[in-house]
Every structure is written in structure tokens, then in C-alpha cells.
Amino acid sequence: MIVVTGGCGFIGSNLVRGLNERGVEDILIVDDLCQSEKFINILDCSITDYRDYRSLIADLSKGAVRGIEAIFHLGACSDTLERDGQHMMRVNYEYSRDLLLHCAASGIPFIYASSASVYGAGPRFSESPENEAALNIYAYSKLLFDRYVRKHSASIDTQVVGLRYFNVYGPREQHKGRMASVAYHFYNQMKENGRISLFEGSGGYGHGEQRRDFIWVSDVVDVNLFFLDNTDINGIFNLGTGYARTFNDMARSVVAAVCGGQSDLPGLIEAGTIRYIPFPGELAGKYQSYTRADVNSLREVGYDKRFTALEDGVAEYVLWRNER
């Protein structure tokens, strides 16, 4: 049995589909369906069982879940504006620690979601402690667990892999609301208003020129499955494309995919299809204006597939959303 925590969420449900496509259906999804609409993400998935995340640790300790081949731990509170630090630390740090300890004691491979947010304002994005500087409690909860893993890795005999996700976009993220990808929001804006709103310049970048490492969710799934296939590999790895693209690039790609044809940025601005709005004051000092994954460590352990180009991923995403 494969356990996927956060299996009803964005990356988790895509991972479950990826496992199904391999013929794997003996899957236990662990999640929180208080947000009931997330069920739609797994409606087309084949699984064995579902458990509420609050019961999993106790169920594991009393042996109520047996025959686990691996745990993918994707469940988390991912709201970077969350103000309840106690909740964030319970869900993201303490829960992760308890799962890790069970896996270490039971010899179960443990592949978990970290975050590129641990790098703060950058500018270096390689997996070294000197590059890490969290800007909010979400990032700190992820960073603290990475530090716990590093501290105890020498005493753990089973596989432990942390994946620092950069800006993931793709199907099954509609439940995330404001935390959904900019690709999701830009598509909605085009369909509803015929225009896209981007932030004005900030952090030394011009209007819409802030840069992120945007990665297609299918590539994320493929990397997770690579580690499932290679249980001798351990460590913390960046998971991005290795390229920084502007928000203007993302907006142009969405316009091109929705409307067809090439999209010239000056022309889109002149036509009002792309406009710029003031940078939100509440994000000051908490916003990453630039991210770019250093993927050398991932390549060095043998992952050699090419990541999907932004324009191709956005075109596929728009096609998927148009069909819904």
C-alpha cells in the first residue's frame, strides 16, 4: 500500500493519478475534507481507503494500517498568510516529525513536501543552510522540519527525501483559492474580464517583471515517482525547472493559450489586456520577487528528464480547463 497524505489536494491528487496510470491502486489517501469540494480531485482516482489526517498517527501507532510500501507526505497548511503560528507548527512541523519517526522505526520510505519558500528573498537557491531565510511562519515550519531531517538523517536507515517545490501549476488546484497558482488566476481573469492584472514593480523589478520558477505539475509527479523507484537515494532536493520566468511571460502564455496566436506584450498592454495594479502593502517584506531552482543536486542523483516549457505547460493547462 502507498500512503499519500494531502491526497485530495493539488499535488497529492495528481500524484494519485500518476500512481493509477502505473497500475497502482492500493492507495490510502489521508486528508482533511472539512473543505468538502476537494473530493472532486479524486473522483476519477482508484484508491483502497481514505482516512482523516487527524487519526493517522494514532492508527499507525496501534498497527491499524499495515503493509505500507512508502509514504508520500504532501499534506500541509500552505497558506503563506496564515496568522495562527501554533496551528501551522502543529500541522506542518509536529505532524511531519511524527510521521518521519514512524517511518524510521518501521523502515518505510518517506518522501515529503518541503518548499522553495525556505529560501526567503534569495538570491541563492541551492540546498545549503546558508541560503535559507524564511519570511513567514509557513516557510519557517517547512524549514524547521528540513533542519530536523538533516540533524537525524545519519541515524535513519530508510529512505527520506524532501522536495522543495517551487511554483507548481496545473490541474486540480481550484480548491486552493488565493493560494492557487497565478496560471489559475490569470485564466479566470481572462475568462471573466478579458484582461489580466499583474503587480506593479517591486523588489527592484519592473511592472510584471518579478520572476519565478514555474513548474508543471506532471513534472512534479514524475520526480516523486523517480524517488519511489530509487529508494537508495536520500536527501533534500529542489524541484523546479531551473529557469526563472517573469509574470509577464506567464500572462502572455495564458492569453496566447486562451485566445490563440502569439501575444506581444506592448500590444497587450496598449489594448488593456494586461494591466498593472499597486503592489499589496500586506506582502511587503514577505514576497519572493525572484526564485530559480538550482537543480544540480537532482540531476546528480540521476533524474535526467527535461522539464516542460512554460508555454507548453500553460497550453495544456488551458486545454484541460476549457474541457471542464
- Active site residues per annotation: 138, 176
176 DSSP assignment: G
Q: Kind and range of the H or E element at 235?
A: strand 235-239
The set of cell numbers assigned to 253 is 502564455
Residue 126 has φ and ψ, to the nearest 5°, of -110, 160
Q: Are 147 and 133 in contact (CB under 8 A)?
A: no
Sign of CA dihedral 38, 282, 288, 264: positive
Side-chain half-sphere CA neighbours of 245 within 13 A: 24
Contacts of 166 (CB under 8 A, 6+ apart): 116, 212, 213, 214, 215, 238, 239, 240, 241, 291, 293
* Rounded Cα gap, residues 142 and 116, in angstroms: 9
C-beta separation of 31 from 50 below 8 A: yes
**Short-list 105, 211, 212, 96, CA closest to 163:** 96
For the record, the C-alpha cell of 252 comes out as 502572455
